[in-house]
């Protein structure tokens, strides 16, 4: 493949990933029109789990016994818990705000790496972290009518991004010798049955799916979220990592909130001054942190 073709493919993959991941928040919102937050989280995990079963089976012989505790942790922190936290948060906050707050992930990744794995950071990175946290604070206090009021449900997304950051550091420092594809498929192979059992035993998922108005479209939205937003997006992301630099790859973080905001506005959501201020601070903070990378 020529350099020109490689560059074109890299940019194409970047925007496809931004579109997929930026659209995940509106898909959660559509799922919540029929299903509860716990059902939305479980359906998302089960869809990705079932899609990746063949890949997981192929990867079983590549894993040593010492890897399994960390793969379980990756399944919990990277998929299972965030799926439920995002769904719970979006019962009370707009999908566009959820997409903006998701941009905290690289900031927390740097923070957790510094706190737990002795990564060194310079003053520029510290400023970036501070701006990101100030931005998240602005979003937490951004009222739905333009005023200032504390929305505690934003903390669920902050916690989810903290889990994502823990997951990324576990992969980097504890599972560096395992492919990302194997890690993801096997981690979902472990937590997927837990989500399936919760769905079948602890919820009225089957009744809602059979008789609920709009259940088919909600289930389709959540299946797309699990299969495309988790499984297929991972394959595309792996390919992007192979053909370009980490700095280029990390730029997807800037586009995801924009896509999420556009979908939210199309769906009738309203954003006010504090929302845009928070988004600006978070994206600027991510930019400063990535300059270190």
pLDDT tens for each residue of 227-245: 999 888 887 877 776 677 6
CA 107 to centroid of chain Cα atoms? 14
Return d(Cα 221, Cα 21) in angstroms, integer.
13
Return d(Cα 82, Cα 104) in angstroms, integer.
13
CA 121 to centroid of chain Cα atoms? 24
Which range among 8-12, 67-71, 116-120, 256-260 shows the weakest confidence by mean pLDDT?
Answer: 116-120
Confidence of residue 100 (pLDDT cuts 50, 70, 90): confident
pLDDT tens for each residue of 148-205: 777 889 899 989 988 988 887 788 778 878 887 888 899 999 999 999 999 999 999 9
Residue 142 pairs with which residues in a beta bridge? 148
Do the Cβ atoms of 161 and 105 come closer than 8 Å? yes
In whole numbers, what is the pLDDT of the chain averaged over residues?
86
pLDDT tens for each residue of 211-228: 999 999 999 999 999 999
Calculate the alpha carbon distances from 217 to 33, 142, 207 in Å: 10, 31, 15
Asked if residue 15 has pLDDT above 70, the reply is yes
Place of tokens 């896509």: 259
Q: Which two tokens stand for residue 173?
A: 């420092």
Calculate the alpha carbon distances from 70 to 80, 186, 259 in Å: 14, 11, 32
Q: Which two tokens stand for residue 283?
A: 């994206």
Predicted structure pTM score:
0.85
Confidence of residue 257 (pLDDT cuts 50, 70, 90): confident
Reference 44, options 230, 256, 185; nearest CA is 230
Calculate the alpha carbon distances from 123 to 42, 120, 133, 247 in Å: 41, 10, 15, 19
């Amino acid at each position: 493949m020529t350099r020109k073709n490689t560059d074109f493919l890299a940019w194409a993959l970047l925007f496809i990933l931004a579109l997929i991941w930026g659209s995940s928040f509106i898909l959660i919102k559509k799922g919540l029109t029929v299903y509860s937050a716990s059902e939305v989280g479980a359906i998302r995990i089960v869809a990705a789990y079932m899609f990746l079963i063949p890949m997981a089976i192929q990867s079983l012989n590549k894993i040593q016994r010492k890897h399994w505790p960390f793969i379980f942790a990756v399944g919990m922190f990277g998929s299972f818990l965030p799926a439920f936290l995002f769904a719970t948060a979006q019962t009370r906050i707009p999908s566009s705000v959820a997409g903006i707050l998701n941009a905290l992930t690289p900031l927390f990744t740097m923070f957790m790496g510094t706190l737990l794995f002795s990564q060194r950071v310079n003053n520029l990175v510290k400023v970036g972290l501070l701006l990101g946290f100030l931005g998240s604070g602005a979003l937490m206090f951004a009222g739905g009518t333009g005023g200032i009021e504390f929305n505690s449900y934003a903390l669920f997304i902050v916690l989810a991004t903290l889990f994502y950051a823990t997951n990324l550091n576990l992969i980097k420092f504890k599972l560096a010798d395992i492919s990302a594809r194997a890690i993801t498929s096997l981690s979902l192979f472990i937590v997927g049955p837990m989500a399936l059992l919760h769905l079948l035993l602890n919820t009225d998922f089957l009744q809602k799916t059979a008789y609920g108005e709009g259940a088919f479209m909600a289930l389709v939205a959540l299946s797309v979220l699990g299969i495309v937003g988790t499984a297929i997006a991972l394959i595309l992301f792996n390919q992007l990592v192979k053909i370009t630099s980490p700095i280029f790859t990390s730029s997807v973080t800037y586009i995801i909130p924009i896509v999420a905001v556009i979908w939210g506005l199309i769906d009738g959501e309203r954003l006010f001054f504090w929302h845009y201020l928070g988004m600006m601070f978070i994206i600027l903070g991510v930019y400063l942190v990535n300059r270190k990378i």
